[in-house]
Structures are given as structure tokens and as C-alpha cells.
């Protein structure tokens, strides 16, 4: 979810550049390389951090097992195949999450990508409820962001929920 959020924001911020590239006839696959490489970087760094976190958790659990089950010898070989499978799955999931916003951007017409997006002017939806004066915008910001891009807010909420779920699962196992 975080990779999809990051890449969709990156593609949205580079809308004009993508439109110019499409207008001059650059192939879409060539313009999709940069956001796709960001997805690969996120996946690879995630795998590296995941292996490091797994090793640290293993060290913590080993001391717990040594004290709870005193055996003369503990044989815990590194399971290369399991780690390689999990690493490959992690990279594939991140590439899939990255492919969606990139694919949507490449389907855009050049004229649509070149149009500037004007900020919304006039009274806001929350101005009448909060008084509309200065100093009240901080309390309204989360709701305005939710109304502007509900998909991004949903992906953020799902990412946080997934992280908390994994945290509680690991803590429950320990």
C-alpha cells in the first residue's frame, strides 16, 4: 500500500512531464521505467529490511527458547529456500502495487496530462461548520484530504492496518 501511494503521488506530480513525453512521441514503456524502478527499489529495500528484522527477532526468540526449553544443543539452520520465496513474493507484491498507478498514467491522453490542475477556490465544505476564520484549518485538514483523494486515504489506512496486524501477530507468537 505504501509503494502504491508513493508511486501514485510521484506519477501525479510528474503529470506534465509525462504529457510532454507522450506529445513528442516517446514510447509509454520508456516513460514507465522510472516509476517502475522506484517500485523495484522499494521492494528490494523492503526485503533487505525484512531479512534484518527477521534475524533480530530470531535472536530474541532464541534466548527465550534457551531459557524456556533447556536443551543441550539447538540446531536452527538458515532456511534459504523459505527466505528466497518470501523475498520474491515481497518484490512481486510491490511491483504489482506499483504497476497500477503507472499503467493508469500511461493510458492518459497527452492533452489531459498537459492541463494544469487548478486549486479549488471559494468557500470550503467545512468553512461554515468551523467558523471559516484563521486558525481553524488544522482541525479540518484531515477531512479535506479525505475528500480530495479518498483512494489515497484508503490505501494509507489499509497499509497501517496491515502493519498493525503483523505487529500483533508477531507479538502474539512471542
Helix intervals (H) in the chain: 2-13, 15-23, 28-31, 33-68, 80-106, 110-114, 127-130, 137-148, 150-173
Q: What is the pLDDT of residue 28?
A: 83
According to DSSP, residue 25 is labeled T
Contact 40, 95 (CB under 8 A): yes
CA distances from 130 to 9, 45, 137 (A): 29, 43, 9
State the Cα–Cα distance between residues 28 and 99, nearest whole angstrom.
Answer: 13
Q: What is the pLDDT of residue 164?
A: 92
CB count within 10 Å of CB 65 equals: 13
Q: What is the pLDDT of residue 122?
A: 46
State the Cα–Cα distance between residues 62 and 59, nearest whole angstrom.
Answer: 5
CA distances from 147 to 43, 126, 152 (A): 30, 11, 10
State the Cα–Cα distance between residues 42 and 48, nearest whole angstrom.
Answer: 10
Q: What is the pLDDT of residue 85?
A: 92
- Grid coordinates in use for 4? 502504491
Q: For every one of its 174 residues, what pLDDT tens digit does the chain have, with 9 covering 90 and above?
A: 777 778 888 888 887 888 888 888 888 888 888 888 888 888 889 888 888 888 888 788 777 777 887 777 777 777 889 888 988 888 888 888 888 888 888 888 878 777 766 555 444 554 555 454 555 677 777 777 778 778 878 888 888 898 899 889 988 877
Q: At what angle do helices 2-13 and 80-106 cross, to 10 degrees?
A: 30
- Greatest C-alpha distance within the chain: 75
Amino acid at each position: 500500500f505504501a509503494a502504491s501511494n508513493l508511486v501514485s503521488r510521484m506519477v501525479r506530480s510528474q503529470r506534465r512531464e509525462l504529457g510532454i513525453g507522450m506529445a513528442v512521441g516517446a514510447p509509454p514503456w520508456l516513460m514507465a521505467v522510472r516509476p517502475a524502478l522506484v517500485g523495484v527499489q522499494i521492494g528490494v529495500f523492503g526485503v533487505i529490511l525484512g531479512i534484518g528484522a527477521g534475524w533480530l527477532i530470531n535472536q530474541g526468540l532464541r534466548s527465550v527458547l534457551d531459557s524456556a526449553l533447556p536443551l543441550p544443543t539447538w540446531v536452527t539452520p538458515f532456511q534459504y529456500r523459505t527466505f528466497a520465496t518470501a523475498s520474491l513474493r515481497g518484490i512481486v507484491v510491490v511491483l504489482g502495487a506499483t504497476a497500477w498507478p503507472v499503467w493508469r498514467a500511461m493510458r492518459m491522453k497527452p492533452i489531459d496530462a498537459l492541463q494544469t490542475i487548478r486549486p479549488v477556490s471559494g468557500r470550503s465544505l467545512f468553512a461554515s461548520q468551523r467558523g471559516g476564520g484563521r486558525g481553524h484549518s488544522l482541525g479540518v485538514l484531515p477531512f479535506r484530504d479525505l475528500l480530495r483523494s479518498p483512494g489515497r486515504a484508503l490505501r494509507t489506512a489499509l497499509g497501517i492496518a496491515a502493519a498493525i496486524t503483523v505487529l500483533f501477530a508477531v507479538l502474539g507468537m512471542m
